[in-house]
Amino acid sequence: MRKQTLTIGNEYGAEYQGQYIFSEITWAKRSRIIQKHTKYHPLSGQVQTSDFIAIQAETIWAALKEQPQNQPLTLETLLGEENGVPIALGELFSQVVNGLCALTREETAFLSEPSAAKNPTPPSPTFGSAKNSAGPQQNSPANPPESFTSTPLSSTK
In SS3 terms, the chain reads as: CCEEEEEECHHHCHHHCEEEEEECCCHHHHHHHHHHCEEECCCCCCEEEECHHHHHHHHHHHHEEECCCCCCCCHHHHHCCCCCCCHHHHHHHHHHHHHHHCCCHHHHHHHHCCHHHCCCCCCCCCHHHCCCCCCCCCCECCECCCCCCCCCCCCCC
What is the predicted pLDDT for the residue at 64? 97
Whole-number pLDDT of residue 108 = 63
Print the domain residue range for 38: 3-117
In a domain, 75, yes or no: yes
Q: Does residue 126 belong to any structural domain of this protein?
A: no
Is residue 92 a part of any domain in this protein? yes
Mean pLDDT in residue range 85-112:
83
In a domain, 104, yes or no: yes
Average of per-residue pLDDT across 122-151: 56
Read off the pLDDT of residues 20-36 as tens digits, 9 standing for 90 and up.
999 999 999 999 999 99
* Residue 139 resides in a domain: no
Q: How many domains does the chain have?
A: 1
Structure confidence by residue, pLDDT tens digits, 36-81: 999 999 999 899 999 999 999 999 999 999 999 999 999 999 999 9
Q: What confidence score (pLDDT) does residue 111 get? A: 61
